Amino acid sequence: MSEDEKAKPTTLSEAQAEAAVAQAEFEAAKAEAEDAKPEGGTLGQTTISDAVVASEAVTKAEASYQAAKEKLIATRAASEAAWKADYEAAKAQVGEIDQAGQLFTNKR
């Protein structure tokens, strides 16, 4: 995941989807790396190469998955902060309406 993709604002559902995709890719890479391991304990040249490539793929997939999880956490925190700000603004507005209603009632 590039820095531009990390910095790009996303919705919570988009961040959750990214994390799910990254996790699936990570799990697939781990399974592929497991398949690349030798059966009988001796390594042939192609098996060593396959194992190294699979191991590198796991490392990259794990890094992408971790970045997606961090982005999800940050997006969730931003979403919760935005929700709280909206809630507080609505609560303040209700308070203002209530105050205006009280003032109107007291004038009668």
State the CB neighbour count (10 A cutoff) for residue 87: 10
Q: Where does the pLDDT of residue 34 fall: very low under 50, low under 70, confident under 90, or very high at 90 and above?
A: confident
Q: Is residue 54 scored above 70 in pLDDT?
A: yes
- The answer, yes or no, to whether residue 103 has pLDDT greater than 60, is no
**19 contacts: CB under 8 Å, gap ≥ 6:** 65, 68, 69, 71, 72
Average pLDDT, the chain: 78
Three-class SS state of 44: coil
pTM above 0.85, yes or no: no
Q: What is the pLDDT of residue 94?
A: 78
Tokens of 105: 């009632």
At residue 43, does pLDDT exceed 70? no
| CA separation for the pair 68, 10 (Å, rounded) | 12
Report which of 14, 29, 23, 30 is spatially closest to residue 66, judged by C-alpha positions. 23
The whole-angstrom separation of Cα 57 and Cα 53 is 6
pLDDT of residue 108: 46
Alpha-carbon gap, residue 106 to 108, rounded angstroms:
5
pLDDT at 29: 87
Percent of the chain with pLDDT over 90: 28
